[in-house]
């Protein structure tokens, strides 16, 4: 067996899990969409078929007050059970196991009926919660229990009680958010009573043979969060109350420390679970940024946990477990931690999917059916759009030839992979390289294809990406002006004083690249940099940070008068801004560019002239389409995708999604 610990069954006494992989809870927005439960049934069934030991659904609220937003799904009566039966039957039909998560948002609710242990507003929600009366606290507990019983009626194998990430239960546990004077506040025993009662009363109602997972916040990452001693006390109380499994929660949503984004080195937080594991007999699940079977196996080998929670990695690849089992880990489509199509979509009220797998959570709508008319297809450009299209078309049975001007596939991903914190982009390149070979796509590297030769193909797909936009500034030809590509490939070196023209995603990445001092793949260096105490010696696991002096002075400039990086993802933009602020990068908005000369960059900021005495000016001023071929080809058989089709706003998610949609219909 290739990952012997990960793939060993786990005996829970009354039931057995086929391996140690728990698919962590992810809200997809399908819960509230049209035909959502049918679509969720297919989504979960595919993951069960792919070998996951135990699935946990997205959070379902136990009552109206507990909803995260007005439209969010509830389970409060037998009327709600039928929909969920679609899910449980589909998963059980393929011999999977599934638990339903019960989530009460407490003060994280973005709706009028927001409640909490105390009337204290959270820094991330513009609403102040109403304090629950003692009677209402009891009611919340009954509502949790009622929902658990209904989940059992719906055929779930168990429930997960969401006790972490700063939601209601966590708000009761931590002193900062619980100022109550009654039996639900004050001492630690009183503050955990809410959590304990929920689990105890649930166990009484559901009987012995039903899984109860308690998601326990092991590292709150907020000031005055729980101490290690308290975390252990709570775990012991949960064991007594009747929990079956303890899952690890890391960080409250209001925490200002990255917990799952791409810059978190894989497995960083897993060691925290060992402190609970050594104190109780229940199986412990490690969590957060565990995205390869190697990292997972290593955590189990270190004896830090008994199971591994992976959520986004199973969006990225439904068959992660089967591939690991069959010694085909190199075929796993690895989650790169970008959050772009999953969490960011949730914040935009869109259905979650995955940047590297646009079919995720769209199992009912998008499928690559075998073609009955195989065609000869030429694809020009092997960036994300070209690689993805070639693979998907070949999977359908078309004969695909992929022409790339450079000496390797990947396009702009070959620049992105060099950015500290984006090392996982190498995994995407590895995935496509292996898959293109497996599906017999003929790849021609170092090839600037002759347009006349393209006419011989049945269809031509132009995926030649973008060219950097050259802004109209006097002196733009000055030797101090360089492209971001030259900096990232090391062809040119940045001096000590740098201006970056542009403040979009690439500008942020370039600024990170030229200011970086942290060894990104090292969990300890990452923890030092962000002030995380991975041994939980301080309450909540935060510690003071002392920033090193920046290695160069950097200005980041934009014409628009707005926050720099305003278009960055909702769940990651704040991290990029904080990181650069800590490195003293000056972000200037409302900039008009005057000229460039030996003195530096002459600008006006809101009509006030200023000279930035910089020795390097890096252009990140947008991109334009690089479509060289489509003019000369018959329009019916020529398709332009990715940045070559529309440069404005292009990113890898759009490029890969366009590729998928074209491959389905070609
Ligand atoms: P490209 O990636 O530009 O690929 C085009 C390919 O066509 C290239 O390989 C090129 O060599 C080839 N080509 C061009 N002309 C010819 C020709 N005549 N013949 C043969 N081949 C040709 N996006 C995200 O979504 N998330 C991120 O985190 C992210 N980070 C980024 C970080 C950096 C530093 C950069 C530079 C980009 C980042 N992007 C990110 C953007 C993303 O990589 C691009 O949007 C995406 O690569 C566009 O894909 P594409 O296939 O359309 O074009
Ligand atoms: Fe992972 Fe990004 Fe896909 Fe989300 S969108 S699952 S973070 S690769």
305-309, 418-422, 539-543, 623-627: range with lowest mean pLDDT: 623-627
| DSSP code of residue 472 | -
Structure confidence by residue, pLDDT tens digits, 123-170: 999 999 999 999 999 999 999 999 999 999 999 999 999 999 999 999
Q: Give ligand 2 pocket residues (Cβ under 6 A).
A: 312, 315-316, 335-342, 354-356
484 tagged catalytic: no
What would the two tokens of residue 77 be?
């009566």
Per the prediction, the chain carries an average pLDDT of 96
Specify whether the CB–CB gap between 303 and 5 falls below 8 A: no
Mean pLDDT computed over 386-391: 98
Decide if pLDDT at 373 tops 90: yes
223-236: pLDDT as tens digits: 999 999 999 999 99
Which of 289, 310, 316 has most ligand 2 atoms within 8 Å of CB, for mutation?
Answer: 316
Residue 518: the pLDDT is 66
Q: Span 420-447, mean pLDDT?
A: 97
Q: What is the pLDDT of residues 84-112, one digit of tens each?
A: 999 999 999 999 999 999 999 999 999 99
Q: Give the number of the atom of ligand 1 that is nearest the alpha carbon of residue 652.
A: 25
Residue identifier of the C-alpha nearest atom 33 of ligand 1: 416
514 Cα–ligand 1 center, Å: 21
Q: Which of 24, 355, 2 is nearest to 160 (CA)?
A: 24
Name residues whose C-beta falls within 8 Å of residue 444's C-beta, 6 or more positions apart in sequence: 401, 402, 403, 404
- For residue 635, what pLDDT is reported? 83
Ligand (nearest to CA of 513) = 1
User: Closest Cα to residue 555, out of 515, 591, 513, 585?
Assistant: 585
276 vs 634, residue with greater confidence: 276
What pLDDT band is residue 520 in, cutting at 50, 70 and 90? Answer: low
Residue 568 has pLDDT above 70, yes or no: yes
The pLDDT of residue 606 is 82
Res 1: pLDDT: 72
Which atom of ligand 1 approaches the CA of 386 most closely?
A: 51
Percent of the chain at pLDDT > 90 equals: 93
2-to-289, 292, 317, 327, 438 alpha-carbon distances in Å: 21, 13, 18, 6, 21
- pLDDT-derived band at 519, boundaries 50, 70, 90: low
pLDDT confidence of residue 238: 98
**pLDDT score, position 546:** 77
Looking at residue 516, its pLDDT comes to 86
In this prediction the pTM is: 0.96
Confidence (pLDDT) at 86: 98
pLDDT band with cut points at 50, 70 and 90 for residue 352:
very high
- pLDDT category at 449 given cuts 50, 70, 90 is confident
Ligand lying closest to the C-alpha of residue 337 = 2
- Position 548 scores a pLDDT of 78
- Of 411, 653, 657, the residue with max ligand 1 atoms within 8 A of its CB, to mutate for a pocket test, comes to 411
The structural domains of the chain, ordered by start, are 10-15+22-347 (3.20.20.70), 376-467+624-665 (3.40.50.720), 470-621 (3.50.50.60)
Q: Which of 3, 44, 108, 167 is catalytic?
A: 167
**Element (DSSP H or E) covering residue 301:** helix 293-301
* Residue 341 Cα to ligand 1 middle (Å): 18
Q: How many C-beta atoms surround the C-beta of residue 66 within 10 A?
A: 30
Of 465, 500, 629, the one to substitute when testing ligand 1's pocket (max ligand atoms within 8 A of C-beta) is 465
pLDDT band at residue 473, thresholds of 50, 70 and 90? very high
DSSP state of 610: E
């Amino acid at each position: 067996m290739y990952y012997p610990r990960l793939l060993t069954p786990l005996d829970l006494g009354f039931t057995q899990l086929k391996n140690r992989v728990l698919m962590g809870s992810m809200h997809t927005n399908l819960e509230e969409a049209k035909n959502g439960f049918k679509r969720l049934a297919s989504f979960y069934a595919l993951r069960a078929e792919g070998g996951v030991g135990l699935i946990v659904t997205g959070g379902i609220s136990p009552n109206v007050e507990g909803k995260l937003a007005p439209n969010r799904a509830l389970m409060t009566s037998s009327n709600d059970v039928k929909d969920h039966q679609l899910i449980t039957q589909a998963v059980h039909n393929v011999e999977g196991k599934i638990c339903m998560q019960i989530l009460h948002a407490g003060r994280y609710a973005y709706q009028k009926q927001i409640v909490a242990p105390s009337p204290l507003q959270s820094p991330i929600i513009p609403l102040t919660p109403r304090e629950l009366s003692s009677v209402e606290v009891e009611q919340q507990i009954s509502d949790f229990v009622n929902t658990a019983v209904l989940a059992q009626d719906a055929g779930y194998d168990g429930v997960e009680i969401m006790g972490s990430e700063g939601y209601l239960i966590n708000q009761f546990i931590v002193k900062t958010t619980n100022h109550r004077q009654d039996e639900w506040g004050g001492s630690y025993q009183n503050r955990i009573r809410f959590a304990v009662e929920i689990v105890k009363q649930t166990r009484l109602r559901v009987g012995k043979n039903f899984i109860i997972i308690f998601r326990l916040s092991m590292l709150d990452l907020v000031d005055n969060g729980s101490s290690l001693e308290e975390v252990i006390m709570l775990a012991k109380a949960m064991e007594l109350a009747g929990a079956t499994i303890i899952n690890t929660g890391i960080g409250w949503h209001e925490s200002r420390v990255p917990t799952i984004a791409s810059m978190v080195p894989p497995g960083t937080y897993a060691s925290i679970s060992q402190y609970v594991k050594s104190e109780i007999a229940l199986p412990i699940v490690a969590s957060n940024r565990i995205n390869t079977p190697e990292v997972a196996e290593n955590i189990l080998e270190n004896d830090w946990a008994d199971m591994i929670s992976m959520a986004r990695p199973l969006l990225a690849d439904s068959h992660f477990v089967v591939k690991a089992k069959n010694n085909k880990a190199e075929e796993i489509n690895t989650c790169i931690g970008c959050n772009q199509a999953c969490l960011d979509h949730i914040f935009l009220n869109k259905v979650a999917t995955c940047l590297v797998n646009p079919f995720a959570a769209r199992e009912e709508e998008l499928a690559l059916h075998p073609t009955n008319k195989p065609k000869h297809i030429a694809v020009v450009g092997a960036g994300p759009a070209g690689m993805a299209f070639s693979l998907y078309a070949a999977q359908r049975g078309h004969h695909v030839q992929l022409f790339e001007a450079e000496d390797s596939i990947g396009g702009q991903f070959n620049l992105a992979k060099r950015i500290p914190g984006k090392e996982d982009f190498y995994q995407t390149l590895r995935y496509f390289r292996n898959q293109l070979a497996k599906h017999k796509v003929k790849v021609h590297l170092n090839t600037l294809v002759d347009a006349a030769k393209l006419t011989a193909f049945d269809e031509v797909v132009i995926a030649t990406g973008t060219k950097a936009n050259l802004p109209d500034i006097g002196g733009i030809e000055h030797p101090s002006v360089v492209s971001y590509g030259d900096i990232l490939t090391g062809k040119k070196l940045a001096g000590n004083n740098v201006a970056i023209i542009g403040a979009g995603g690439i500008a942020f990445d370039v600024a990170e690249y030229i200011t970086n001092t942290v060894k990104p793949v090292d969990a300890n260096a990452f923890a030092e940099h962000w002030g995380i105490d991975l041994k939980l010696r301080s309450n909540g696991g935060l510690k003071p940070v002392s920033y090193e002096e920046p290695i160069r002075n950097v200005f980041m400039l934009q014409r628009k008068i707005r926050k720099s990086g305003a278009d960055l993802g909702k769940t990651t933009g704040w991290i990029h801004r904080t990181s650069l602020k800590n490195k003293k990068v000056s972000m200037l908005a409302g900039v008009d560019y005057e000229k460039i000369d030996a003195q530096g960059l002459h600008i006006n900021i809101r009509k006030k002239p200023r000279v930035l005495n910089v020795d390097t000016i890096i252009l990140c001023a947008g991109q334009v389409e690089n479509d060289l071929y489509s003019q000369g080809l018959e329009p019916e058989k020529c398709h332009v995708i990715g940045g070559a089709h529309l440069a404005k706003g292009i990113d890898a998610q759009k490029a890969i999604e366009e590729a998928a949609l074209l491959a389905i219909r070609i």
